[in-house]
Amino acid sequence: MPKVLDGAVIASEIKQEVAAEVKRLAARGVRPGLAAVLVGQVPASQIYVKSKVQACADLGLFSDLITPAETVTTEEMLALIATLNARDDIDGILVQLPLPKQVDAKLLLDAIDPAKDVDGFHPVNAGRLQAGRPALAPCTPAGVIEILKRSGIPIAGANAVVVGRSDIVGKPAAMLLLHENATVTICHSKTRDLGAVTRQADILVAAIGRPGFITPEMVKPGATVIDVGINRIETREEFDRFFKGNEKREAAFTKRGSVIVGDVHPKAFEVAGAYTPVPGGVGLLTIAMLMANTVRAAKMRRGL
């Protein structure tokens, strides 16, 4: 049986470490602070931001939830970011995406002080990450590395294949694996004979944003499979493609009208030696790593 890499357990470990570090900083008169900016009334974003604010409260961090109106302009948002950049009680700035169409998201994210860019999206942090210099790394890729390390999966010398080349997950995940001395290949939808490449992977990271894209024949027997994807399945046809005969998922689908599947077909996990489930895997690390990044930003800003 393949080993299940439990994201909940690892996220809990990281949060406990963050809480302990927050206490140590408090003894020195420092309380890390996170500003969360949520524009409009998107229900999924509201739930996600609320969980981030709650995590701050649970771990002892200061948080400031700022909710501009749906009609906010790019200029008004830039003024808000400038204010947050100048606030000494704010160490991390999080702008929840997506933003309304009238707001230039790229311009806005680039305006965040790189020292407070706890999402790790700023070009300065991307450059520092590539150069192997101290940087705030994107939370999801950083979570991938934590899962591998804390699960005792050897990275140095391993063949790692990352399927997906986004600036948010694919590219930084590849760079972090490279810094851990893996031999890294980045693939994407245009890669020729993709299965021939993925079958060489000791560590396979799926981050392409397509439900069940990685099939069993694409996985090397015994490989570690890290599934970053979160895709909502809402039709019976799609459900049967992935979960036909799965009573637990059937019950959830009947109750909610949808279920979540990753970028890896569930049958592919049976070939693996270890894997992250969806849900219950990488997604749970994202908020934990955001908290860790906020504490790291607080320390870096103060030379600690």
Measure the CA–CA gap between 257 and 234, rounded to whole angstroms.
6
Coil/strand/helix, residue 18: helix
Catalytic residue among 113, 119, 202, 263, which?
Answer: 119
Distance CA 302, CA 304 (A): 5
Could you give the 3-state DSSP secondary structure of residue 253?
helix
Nearest CA to 145 out of 186, 96, 178, 105 is that of 178
| 119 is a catalytic site residue | yes
DSSP 67-119: ---TT--HHHHHHHHHHHHH-TT--EEEEPSPPPTTS-HHHHHHHS-GGG-TT
CB 59 within 8 A of CB 298: no
| DSSP helix/strand/coil, 165 | coil
User: Helical H runs in the chain?
Assistant: 7-26, 43-59, 74-86, 105-111, 123-131, 139-150, 170-179, 194-198, 236-243, 247-256, 283-301
Say how far apart CA 272 and CA 294 lie, in whole Å. Answer: 34
The reply to whether 113 belongs to the active site is no
SS3 (DSSP) at 251? helix
CB 1 within 8 A of CB 38: no
Contact 52, 94 (CB under 8 A): yes
The question of whether 117 is a catalytic residue gets the answer no
What whole-number distance in Å separates Cα of residue 126 and Cα of residue 137? Answer: 8
The residue annotated as part of the active site, out of 91, 96, 117, 227, is 96
Catalytic residues: 52, 96, 119
